[in-house]
A and B are shown apart, each in its own frame.
Chain A
Amino acid sequence: MMQVNTVMNIWIVLPILIPLLTAVGAVLAWNWRRVQRVLSVIGSAALLGAGLKLLLTVWTDGILALQIGSWPAPFGITLAADLFSAIMVVLAGLLAVTVTLYSLASMDMERESFGYYPILHILLMGVCGAFLSGDIFNLYVWFEVLLIASFVLLTLGGERAQLEGAIKYVTLNLMASALFLAGVGVLYGIAGTLNMADLAVQLAKMEHPEIVTAVSMLFLIAFGIKAAVFPLFFWLPASYHTPPVAVSAIFSGLLTKVGVYALFRVFTLLFVHNIRYTHTMILIIAGFTMVTGVLGAVAQTEFRRLLSFHIVSQIGYLLMGLGLYHPAAMAAAVFFMVHVVLAKSTLFLVSGVVHWLQGTYDLKKLGGLYASAPGLALLFLIPALSLAGIPPLPGFFAKLALVGAGLQLGQYVISAVALAVSILTLFSMIKIWNEAFWKPQPLAATCASAQPVLLIIPIVLLALVILGIGFFAGPLFTLAARAAEQLSDPAGYIQAVLGGA
């Protein structure tokens, strides 16, 4: 079996290797910014291609696993890709391409010459590594890789707000890492293994499941901080609006989602022995996350801070899918994940163009953009209405499926909360629309009229993908359903990693 799969297994390594090689190339070309930019575009495109190929391979051949260095499974380091990881890698590739294109036009020279591109690709390597890791300690290592890269991206430029935001971001994420590490240690102490598939087997045999539940809470808090769930999300709105927009976009699209991915992975594979307790807890957290996030957003008048609070609120929906712990709900969550990653990043990129045009992020000072830039207004409306859940945009289908699953499972409270939060989301999006696009511009401030094409192309690209998902929701739903099927039945994953045993 090993022999047959090895050729296909290349596709698991490539999403990690491509960003690494791109970063290396960019480091070696430190003084030639033009070379770095070209390399960065090529690397991102290659990552997207490799991700798509990986998704296709996993779709046709089932879950892939690769034992690094040919060391057999529970002892060596394992990379594993099921449909969910493959989807996440594709999303990372898509964001890499769009954000790189956007950076070409928007990143200032100073940041570019201090290693923006190499670090961006190191970040992508960490993200893809986390998605593909089949080993809980390596998951920790990949988390740290992406964390260090994100620290540097966040502080690159060294403005006051950036540094202050970074202190909060760094502190809380380091706490999460320390808890994660402690959790890994305890898990190793009780199960004697770190390979996730093997852990699943060992934990199922545990005599004292209460200990496992206790450990699972450590992981819930650690990943919860990284995923920015209630009440651990305060670092996010304090920091995400401080770096350049391209960085905010990739952070909002990928970083918290890695936390959510990790929660999905451990709470479908490892900690499933006491669902009544753990997953109900997740469901409650999901509800509070949705509500506090959206209430925070409603109160904001700064474009990017408002969007930051929305990230938190959307995380709640994703966790709701996990908390319901039913294939239909998780399929909806996977679909929601695709949609929210795209929509959120698009909105951040739009905020960047708005800033480019009128020189501010303050909604009170913005205005008149519908008259001066109708195309941009349309590009804003697509992701905004999708997030709020207006048909035929993908957000509608995602929420419909999620709430439908909730009602079907008799979880009426969380379903009602999800619907109410949806309305508040719509309200806050309309608020941006009214303030920034509809009302006349309050001060006749100097505003650039021309929009660089490179700023618009990535937004158009993402908006088209969102529209495409909306019109062809069926196939994506089939994909999401199969991903959820794999998540809810870990036997296939364990079989793929550990072999015939």
Chain B
Amino acid sequence: MVSLILSTAVRYIFPLQLLFSIFLLLRGHNEPGGGFVGGLVVAAAFSLVALANNVWTAQRTMGVNPRVLIGVGLLAAAVSGLQALIAGQPFMTAAWIARDIPVLGKVGTPLLFDFGVYLVVIGVTLTIIFTLMEE
């Protein structure tokens, strides 16, 4: 059952959702938002594509297996903690770049960690949803 209204609307909503997810990811350190909700928004975007068309379209749109995102995300999170180990501080001690960077704002290992969470959430959620929808 493919609804014309939904699949047309998704074409406009989908990029907005992706943009909004990045906005959430970046503001998350001190304000409501963060990698977790950001990731969920992305997952919702791809689920919407899957609902409006079918799972295979969504997978093709993604271009990468969600499983890879889990791996990369976990790696990013682990690396963000490793930095402190190398610097001789307790694991996961935050390190910030002194100056604010335009658009990104405060940049440091917590952002990397958040980015890892973002990817893991996208990966896990979409793995589950795609698996359930394929059957």
Contacts and interface: CB of A to CB of B under 8 A. Distances in A.
Is A in direct contact with B (CB under 8 Å) within the complex?
A: yes
B78 A17 contact: yes
Contacts of B71: 24, 27-28
Nearest to A12: B91
Interface string B64-93: 010110111011001001101100111111
Range of interface residues on B (Cβ < 8 Å): 20 to 34
Contacts of A30: 65, 67-68
A28 B69 CA distance: 9
B74 A69 contact: no
B74 A20 contact: yes
Contacts of A2: 90
Contacts of A91: none
Interface residues of A, number: 20
A70 B78 contact: no
B85 A10 contact: yes
Contacts of B90: 2, 6, 9, 66-70
A27 B124 CA distance: 13
A450 interface: no
B75 A13 contact: no
A13 B67 CA distance: 25
A69 B93 contact: yes
B78 A24 contact: yes
Nearest to A5: B90
Nearest to A17: B78
A13 B94 CA distance: 16
A81 to B, nearest CB: 13
Contacts of B74: 20, 23-24, 27
Contacts of A10: 85, 91
B68 A69 contact: no
A13 B85 CA distance: 9
Nearest to A66: B90
Interface string A181-209: 00000000000000000000000000000
A69 B78 contact: no
A69 B72 contact: no
A6 B67 contact: no
* Closest A-B pairs by Cβ, 10 of them: A27-B71, A69-B92, A28-B71, A70-B93, A13-B91, A24-B74, A24-B75, A68-B92, A70-B90, A24-B71
Interface of B: 65, 67-68, 70-72, 74-75, 78, 81-82, 84-85, 88-94
Interface of A: 2, 6-7, 9-10, 13, 17, 20-21, 23-24, 27-28, 30, 66-70, 79
